[in-house]
Amino acid sequence: MSAAAKGATAVGPALGLAAPPSVDSGSGTRAAGQGDERVIDRRSADDEAIAAMSDAERAALWRQRLHEAEAGLTRFLVARGPAADLKAWFGLKAEIFADLPMSSTHASAAWQRIFFRGQALMERFLVSRYGEGILADWAASIAEVHRTVEPDRDGGAADPVRRIARQAELYGSQYRVHVAEGSGPAAVASVNITHCAIWDYREQARSNGVRLTLASPCTYCTKAMSANVRAKGYEVSYQLREDRSGHGCHWEATAPDTAPNTAPNTAQEA
């Protein structure tokens, strides 16, 4: 799930508003294991394939995420017309793309560092000028870029769910992918993240002196992932959870013609 902490150019974790202590639900959220999907008590073939991503594949995903975020911010500023602070934006871009990795050795770790630095700088740029509420507009702009640059893999609803799982894998999160059985592209798919390692990263960063501007990664992350799934043409619902295992979440993508009649999004953000 995406994002970084604020603070100078120090690499930091994702920013977002605090998750509530129990369950935070997106529209039409169903609990894990409910519905037509077959929940199995072992890693699925999807899980194994995602975990087997090579270092080069992981580096490519970090680069794509940085591209989506930076191009999304460019779109956001274009939409603001003459009000955009271009001098500050050009200076920020110079910082974002400074010291790019020149070697393929340990490329994933190097591009992860670049992504976190860029995410931190872009979040600081936006929040300091427009406030936390503007993150939803940025997420919507990123989703328009994501619509174009994220390949369609003919998996139906499983495609956006696998993208969420791939991001979870980058952080070392614990997750399980579920795809509704049947031939052809999936109409329903979900991923259950039982332990979100973004939170672990944030706490490590906090202990290393990184100043976190927002209380948790969840609000920005939920806005960004929801926008991405919708940009690909699917309905999306989510739950945020917190228990003794730590923080986690459950995401479900549904093809529009199979989506249940659900109430508006009632997620609580605090």
* pTM of the full structure: 0.79
pLDDT digits (tens, 9 = 90+) for 158-187: 999 999 999 999 999 999 999 977 778 999
Interhelix angle 158-171/55-79, rounded to 10 degrees, is 110
Amino acid 42: pLDDT: 57
Q: Residue 84 carries which DSSP code?
A: S
> For residue 118, which of 70, 175, 185, 178 has the smallest C-alpha distance?
70
Phi, psi angle pair for 243, to nearest 5°: -150, -165
Judged against a pLDDT cut of 60, whether residue 124 lies above it is answered with yes
Query: Phi-psi bin for 100: left (phi > 0), alpha (psi -120 to 50), beta?
Result: beta
